[in-house]
Every structure is written in structure tokens, then in C-alpha cells.
Structure 1
Amino acid sequence: MRRVDELVRAKVMLVEDDLEWSNGLQLYFSNESDFEIVSCVATKEACMSALEEMSVDVILMDIILGDAEASGLDAALDISHLYPKIKIIMVSSLDNDDEVFNEAFLNGAYDFVYKSEFEQIPGVIANAMKDQETKYGPRLKKLVYDKKKKLLNPYDALLLKLILEGKTQQEIADMNSVSLSAVKKHVSRVLAKFMWSRSTRELAEKCQKWGLLD
């Protein structure tokens, strides 16, 4: 009969673009009995591809990835929707950045560890495997959710829903009997509220995953 600790040994994926740091973590944790790093990738795209081929329990996700198109926060949000049972632990060298710290939880992170305190990782993984609620996670997730929810009025939410449906700005203008210029101004106001520099479609997708359009 297999022992209980063998049954619950965690399979961990490391998402880290700093090769030296990645190799260092693998070496440091190579003798851990409670978890094993079974995969190491450097980008969101590689992470999502790997998850299609293998099953893991925990992902150690660096917030700053060397990917101009996606950060660790982006990856966490997608993973939390596609693989809700996976526990995501954000790892970062960023300090005193509450905005990033808080949004990590809204994006589905289980917990957050600073790279300077990496020795805490085994304990956080152990808690994750027990599904133990973190001290700050749920409260911070609600705090950020409420803050972002207040940014959207019903008309903003409708606009983003139409964009998600694939409607063009001209189609949205025709549907609402307003000018194209009015729709463009509305879009610009929504982007400004979120201080968003990427496409409106990407913002709409994020708002949907955050639950802001429900």
C-alpha cells in the first residue's frame, strides 16, 4: 500500500524567464519530499502549451516575464479559468507595489511570495495542497474586484459585451443610433478608467474573466 505522503506529493511547474534563477530554484528544492518541480518554462505561451500535455498541482509563476505580449498576471488569469484546481503561487522581486500584489489575487493567485523570501515556498505549497485559505487572498481579491467594478457603469459593461461579441465600433454606433465619434469617445473613456494601453478587446476579455460583466 502506498503511503499518504506519496499520494499527495505535489507536482509543480515553474514559470520563470530568468534561467539562472530557474536553475537555482530547481537545485535548491531538488531534495524536497513533499513536492517535485516537474516542468520549467519561460513564457505564458509555453506554460499554456505544457498544461495541455501534463497535469500539475501548483504553478510557481513569475510576475515579470520576458514576454512583451503577456505577463505572469495575464497567465494566472487564463490558468485560473481553464484549470481552476491548479494553485498558482506568484513569485516576484517587485517590492512595495500594492497594485500588482492585489491584482495577483483577483487574477486567481493562491498566494504571493517575494523572491528574497523563497525559503517560504515549501510551506506555501504545503498549505495549497491542503487547500488552506490564505490570510490576505480572499480579502484582497474582493477589494480589487469592488474597486474595478465601480469603474464600470451599465453602459460601459454593455459596450464591452458587444465588443466581446465581435461587434465593430460602427456596428455598435448603428445599433444604438449614435455617431461613430460618440462610440470612439466612449471607448476612450473606458480605456482611461482602467489606464489601459492595449486593445479594447483584451480589456473586455479581462473584465469578463474578472466577473465584472456579469
Structure 2
Amino acid sequence: MSENAERDPAGAATVRIIVVDDHPVFRMGMSALLGSLPGLRVEAEADSLASAVAAAQAQRPDVVVMDLHLGDREPSGVEATREVLRVRPGAAVLVVTMLDDDDSVFAAMRAGARGYLLKGASPAEIERAVRAVANGEVILGPAVASRAVAHLTSARFANPAMALPELTSREHEVLDLVARGLDNLAISRRLVLSPKTVRNHLSNILTKLQASSRAEAIVRARQAGLGEN
């Protein structure tokens, strides 16, 4: 937090928070919980990428509590995380979501999130996580942490597919899922991206690999070791 941060009566710096969630009942409940805790203050609520970015610019929060699903017509919370941190680099994003799959966890962390909890977390866990990320720590819920460790030590994670160095890490992920037989909609769900973003990544992949079709890109991917279960 900033050295010029406001302080509560006890002398501790006040943690300024924005809550981003498209479900009004959960958003209001989260705001009420956090606002009732000493040293924490909810400055704004948001339900979309645009409103989250606007709130981050206006309020300059220390912590942004972010859901990953912001509605079927909205970009994902992963993209919102990336945009919020672009306009407010000093913020710490704490994801609180229903999504507990490995792809969602790692997509959020790669976007810059410092914490990841499931919506079943207790009020005490949420409070601890908010204070931890505000202090610069990285925190994962117990179930998420155990799966993350397993994923990090797996052979799949250890293979960076450097046979295709012209691709970015995100393009490697997209191409890997294409080679596994997933369509664009399934890929968008796995990586918590919009279908349009997946199409853009695939177009870039075809251009970089000089592949004339999706099928040709799959062949190149498998030659590089991608798409293996």
C-alpha cells in the first residue's frame, strides 16, 4: 500500500477495495462483509470490465476482489484483471470465483492476480486473503493450492514446447488445446477467454506458423509435442 494511505483510528493503513462481480446479491454480500471489518473499506462495486476499469481509475484501490465470470456477453474476469492492473498497477487482485479448474487458476495468475479463492471460502478466509494480498503476499485457497502444486510438478507443465518459439505462452496454450481436439468455444471456457479472443489467437498462430488451415496447425503442434494427454 502507498506510504500516504489513510489510516484507521488504531493507526493501521486502511485497505481500499473494489468488488467486481456480476451477481448483485453476492457483490452486495461481499461488500457488506468487507466493509464491516476494521481497516477495510469498500470504495466501489462493479459488474463488468468497463465499470471495473473505471472504478480502478477513479478510486485507486489497494485490492480488487474479482469474479472470473462476468456474464455471457462480457469479457472474462481474467481479461478484466489484466485491464485493471494496466490502469492501476499498484492494485492487488484477489479472485473469488466458482471456477476451480486448473486452467482458470493459472490464467488468472498469469494475468496478474495475487490470490485465488473459491466462493465457498469462509468469511475468515476471505478477510485473511484480502489482508495478505494487500501486503504483497500471494495466497491460494487450500484446494486450489494443492492442485497448483500437483500441476507445477507435472510433466505437462514442464514441457514448454520450445519447438515453436515464435508463439507466445498464451498461443502455446491455445494451440495445445486445438491439437487436443477442442473447438473454439470449449477453448474459451477452458482458458476463461472470450470466443473472439480465441479466434484472434488462432489467427495469429496460423500466421506465425505459416499454416494454411487449422488441420495444418494441428500437425505442426503434434510434431512439437503439443496435444498429448
- With normalisation by structure 1, the TM-score equals 0.65
Name the SS of the counterpart of 1:113 in structure 2.
strand
Name the SS of the counterpart of 2:89 in structure 1.
coil
Cα separation, 2, equivalents of 1:90 and 1:149: 26
Q: Which residue number corresponds to residue 110 of structure 2?
A: 106
Cα separation, partners in 2 of 1:92 and 1:148, compared to 1, 3 Å: farther
Cα separation, partners in 2 of 1:85 and 1:149, compared to 1, 3 Å: farther
Give per-residue Cα distances to partners, 1:73-117, cap 9 Å, x unaligned: 11112223442221000011223x111112211111100111111
Name structure 1 gaps, 5 residues minimum. Answer: 161-187, 208-214
Q: Which residue number corresponds to residue 192 of structure 1?
A: 178
Please tell me the residue identity of whatever aligns with 1:192. Answer: V
Please tell me the residue identity of whatever aligns with 2:161. Answer: K
Q: Which residue number corresponds to residue 137 of structure 2?
A: 132
User: How far off its partner does 1:7 sit?
Assistant: 4.8
Alignment of 1:167-182 (within 5 A): none
Please tell me the residue identity of whatever aligns with 1:115. Answer: K
The two structures, once aligned, show a CA RMSD in angstroms of 3.7
Cα separation, 1, equivalents of 2:34 and 2:112: 25
Give per-residue Cα distances to partners, 1:178-201, cap 9 Å, x unaligned: xxxxxxxxxx96993694642578
User: Which consecutive aligned stretches of 4+ in structure 1 deviate over 4 angstroms post-superposition?
Assistant: 2-7, 146-149, 188-191, 193-197, 199-202
**Which residue of 41, 48, 61 corresponds with 1:43?**
48
Query: Is 1:153 equivalent to 2:139 in the alignment?
Result: no
Q: Contact between 2:18 and 2:65, CA under 8 Å: does it hold in 1?
A: yes
**Which residue of 33, 36, 39 corresponds with 1:34?**
39
Cα separation, 2, equivalents of 1:116 and 1:14: 17
Name structure 2 gaps, 5 residues minimum. Answer: 1-6, 189-194, 206-229
Q: Contact between 2:8 and 2:39, CA under 8 Å: does it hold in 1?
A: no
User: How far off its partner does 1:130 sit?
Assistant: 2.0
**Which residue of 116, 119, 127 corresponds with 1:115?**
119
Name the SS of the counterpart of 1:29 in structure 2.
helix
Moved more, 30-39 or 12-21: 30-39
Cα separation, 1, equivalents of 2:99 and 2:126: 16
Please tell me the residue identity of whatever aligns with 1:105. Answer: M
Please tell me the residue identity of whatever aligns with 1:23. Answer: M
Q: Contact between 1:10 and 1:35, CA under 8 Å: does it hold in 2?
A: yes
Of all paired residues, the percent bearing the same amino acid is: 18
Q: Which residue number corresponds to residue 201 of structure 2?
A: 203
Q: Which residue number corresponds to residue 18 of structure 2?
A: 13
Q: Contact between 1:156 and 1:190, CA under 8 Å: does it hold in 2?
A: no
Q: Contact between 1:87 and 1:128, CA under 8 Å: does it hold in 2?
A: yes
Alignment of 1:79-90 (within 5 A): 79-90=84-95
Name the SS of the counterpart of 1:65 in structure 2.
coil
Cα separation, 2, equivalents of 1:78 and 1:100: 17
Q: Contact between 2:48 and 2:74, CA under 8 Å: does it hold in 1?
A: no
- With normalisation by structure 2, the TM-score equals 0.61
